[in-house]
């Protein structure tokens, strides 16, 4: 058997401990499959005294992650620290400059600095692998780097955040408000004490920016992603979706359009019969549309010690086998800067919920505003929700607001937003109109 491949692991939280446990359980078999021994030589973390589920006495301890990254005692630096800057970025840069291969699960860092780090890896002839950075245990990066190379990718989309999917699933199944389900998710450990990164859509947007680069040969451009979270979704929206044959999911979608590359993360109504509609709880899914393969969907755990460690170790085994390729498939110097497709140019169907004052001429005025923007309505329903909407008061009162749901035919975001802004200014609605995109998957 060849010389061992020596690992230095920085970050010993849930994922770092999971990697050590996986290697302890399957190290001998993985070494045979890799054709050389896989050895952890040194580890690093902020708190040496913290209790962990694995014995660290067999590994050299290094307080300084950057020093570990440069160490002559390792061949592969495994970064599991997290964060878009700081020690995570400094240690990865140090490892690449020292000619060390890098494996990371850090989607935030790659979303902000991925193109520059890819160039640094290529300049030094080493790997920068990040399977664990997108959708946890789902091998989507490897699939796009290898199995789908024969295709021109036209769209990639999916459920990219398990916290949001869990919350939306519970809201739908139990008719409970967002705040209440979020509190439950925090209690169960599915949501952080500060959940804004997840529920606000940022986490999913980080992952989407990496998928878009892989799919379209484009420079990583997190700042080009339109982001909308799930905080404003109400039980009444789930009731309307159910009546209309839809489910609500937080989707990340990247696709080529005539106006450029469109990247967006937002709550979406998807048909109940679509595969993505059936993905519930903390599970993630990613779908890729290719010109020859058609549509391929992968479903699995998007986070957690075991699934994420599985992806990290898969990247290590590739390196041990001598597999080194451009991190984003296309070499960094050839990744294109692209025209950002404005969200107001987006085309599709829309769900709209209004709280309309019961006044003569109100509905006619609303319909007129839609007609001014050439928005064609597929359906308009005045409905009494099963769950009370805030601010609707007693519907028996003269002039009290009435909930109205509209579904549009294909139109543009520009037209919808312009019409809704005019409707709100006209004063016939008691609260800001609620709009959600419909994705015909």
Q: Tell me: the pLDDT tens digits for 75-110?
A: 999 999 999 999 999 999 999 999 999 999 999 999
Same domain, 45 and 61: yes
**Which residues in 303-314 are b (16+ Cβ under 10 Å) and which e?**
bbbebbbbbbbb
Q: Tell me: the pLDDT tens digits for 328-364?
A: 999 999 999 877 777 766 778 999 999 999 888 888 8
Show Cβ contacts of residue 58 under 8 Å, excluding neighbours closer than 6 positions.
Answer: 40
Contact call for residues 270 and 439 (beta carbons, < 8 A): yes
Same domain, 97 and 233: no
Same domain, 66 and 182: no
Boundary residue ending a domain (133, 154, 187): 133
Segment (H or E) for 17: helix 14-34
239 part of a folded domain:
yes
Least confident of 176-180, 206-210, 378-382, 434-438: 378-382
Number of residues assigned to the chain: 441
Q: Tell me: the pLDDT tens digits for 30-76?
A: 999 999 999 999 999 988 878 888 888 889 999 999 999 999 999 99
337 part of a folded domain:
no
Same domain, 261 and 113: no
Active site residues per annotation: 207
Rounded to whole angstroms, the Cα distance separating 213 from 47 reads: 35
Rounded to whole angstroms, the Cα distance separating 336 from 328 reads: 12
Using the predicted structure, report yes or no on whether residue 118 has a pLDDT greater than 90: yes
Rounded to whole angstroms, the Cα distance separating 225 from 202 reads: 9
Same domain, 74 and 159: no
Same domain, 157 and 68: no
End-to-end Cα, the chain, rounded Å: 49
Rounded to whole angstroms, the Cα distance separating 225 from 107 reads: 14
333 part of a folded domain:
no
Q: What CATH number did the domain enclosing 364 receive?
A: 3.30.70.260
Q: What pLDDT is attached to residue 392?
A: 47
- Number of separate domains in the chain: 3
Using the predicted structure, report yes or no on whether residue 142 has a pLDDT greater than 80: yes
Contact call for residues 317 and 76 (beta carbons, < 8 A): no
Q: What CATH number did the domain enclosing 54 receive?
A: 3.40.50.720
Range of the domain at 264: 140-301
Q: Which two tokens stand for residue 33?
A: 């499959």
Helices (H), 35-138: 65-70, 86-97, 107-123
Same domain, 81 and 155: no
Q: From 114, 169, 149, select the one nearest 288 (Cα to Cα).
A: 149
Under the banding of pLDDT at 50, 70 and 90, the label for residue 387 is: low
Rounded to an integer, the average pLDDT of 424-440 is 92
Using the predicted structure, report yes or no on whether residue 394 has a pLDDT greater than 50: no
Same domain, 56 and 173: no
Using the predicted structure, report yes or no on whether residue 399 has a pLDDT greater than 70: no
Using the predicted structure, report yes or no on whether residue 388 has a pLDDT greater than 60: no
Boundary residue ending a domain (133, 166, 185): 133
Average confidence score pLDDT of the chain: 92
pTM: 0.92
Q: Which two tokens stand for residue 278?
A: 């059936």
Same domain, 407 and 424: yes
Q: Tell me: the pLDDT tens digits for 231-272?
A: 999 999 999 999 999 999 999 999 988 878 999 999 999 999
Rounded to whole angstroms, the Cα distance separating 223 from 271 reads: 29
DSSP symbol at 76: E
Q: From 29, 39, 45, select the one nearest 7 (Cα to Cα).
A: 39
Q: What pLDDT is attached to residue 206?
A: 98
3-state DSSP of 271-322: ECCCHHHHCCCCEEEEEEEECCCEEEEEEEECCCHHHHHHHHHHHHHHHHCC
- Please indicate whether residue 180 or residue 360 has the higher confidence score (pLDDT): 180
Contact call for residues 92 and 79 (beta carbons, < 8 A): yes
Rounded to whole angstroms, the Cα distance separating 307 from 173 reads: 26
Rounded to whole angstroms, the Cα distance separating 69 from 262 reads: 36
Same domain, 118 and 149: no
Same domain, 201 and 226: yes
Boundary residue ending a domain (114, 133, 152): 133
Contact call for residues 6 and 69 (beta carbons, < 8 A): no
58 part of a folded domain:
yes
Under the banding of pLDDT at 50, 70 and 90, the label for residue 383 is: low
Q: What pLDDT is attached to residue 351?
A: 95
Same domain, 358 and 254: no
Q: Tell me: the pLDDT tens digits for 192-238?
A: 889 999 999 999 999 999 999 999 999 999 999 999 999 999 999 99
95 part of a folded domain:
yes
């Amino acid at each position: 058997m060849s010389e061992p491949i020596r690992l230095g692991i920085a970050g010993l939280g849930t994922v770092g401990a999971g990697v050590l446990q996986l290697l302890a359980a399957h190290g001998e078999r993985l070494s045979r499959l890799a054709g050389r021994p896989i050895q952890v030589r040194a580890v690093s973390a902020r708190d040496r005294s913290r209790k962990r589920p694995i014995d660290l006495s067999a590994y050299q301890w290094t307080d300084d992650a950057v020093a570990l990254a440069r160490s002559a005692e390792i061949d592969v630096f495994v970064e599991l620290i997290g964060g878009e800057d700081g020690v995570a970025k400094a240690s990865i840069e140090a490892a690449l400059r020292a000619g060390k291969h890098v494996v990371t699960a850090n989607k935030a860092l790659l979303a902000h600095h991925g193109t520059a780090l890819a160039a640094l890896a290529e300049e030094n002839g080493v790997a920068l692998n990040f399977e664990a950075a997108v959708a946890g245990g789902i091998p989507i990066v490897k699939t796009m780097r290898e199995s789908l190379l024969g295709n021109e990718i036209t769209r990639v989309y999916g459920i990219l955040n398990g916290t949001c999917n869990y919350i939306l699933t519970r809201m739908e199944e139990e008719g409970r408000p967002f705040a209440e389900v979020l509190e439950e998710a925090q209690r169960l450990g599915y949501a952080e004490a500060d959940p804004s990164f997840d529920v606000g859509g940022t986490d999913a947007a980080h992952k989407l920016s990496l998928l878009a680069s892989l799919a379209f040969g484009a420079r990583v451009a997190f700042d080009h992603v339109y982001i909308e979270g799930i905080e404003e979704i109400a039980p009444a929206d789930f009731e309307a979706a159910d009546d209309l044959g839809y489910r609500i999911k937080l989707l990340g979608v990247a696709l080529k359009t005539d106006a450029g590359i469109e990247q967006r993360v937002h709550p979406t109504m998807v048909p109940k019969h679509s595969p993505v509609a059936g993905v519930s709880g903390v599970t993630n899914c990613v779908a890729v549309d290719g010109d020859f393969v058609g549509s391929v969907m992968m479903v699995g755990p998007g986070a957690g010690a075991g699934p994420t460690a599985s992806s990290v170790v898969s990247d290590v085994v590739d390196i041990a086998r001598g597999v080194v390729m451009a991190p984003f498939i296309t070499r960094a110097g050839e990744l294109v800067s692209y025209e950002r497709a404005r969200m107001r140019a987006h085309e599709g169907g829309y769900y709209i919920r209004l709280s309309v004052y019961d006044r003569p001429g109100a509905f006619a005025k609303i319909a007129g505003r839609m007609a001014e923007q050439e928005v064609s309505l597929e359906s308009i329903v005045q409905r009494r929700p099963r769950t009370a909407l805030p601010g609707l008061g007693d519907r028996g009162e003269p002039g009290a607001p009435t909930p109205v749901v509209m579904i549009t035919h294909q139109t543009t975001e520009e037209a919808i937003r312009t019409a809704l802004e005019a409707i709100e200014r006209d004063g016939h609605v008691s609260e800001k109109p609620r709009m959600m995109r419909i994705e015909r998957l």
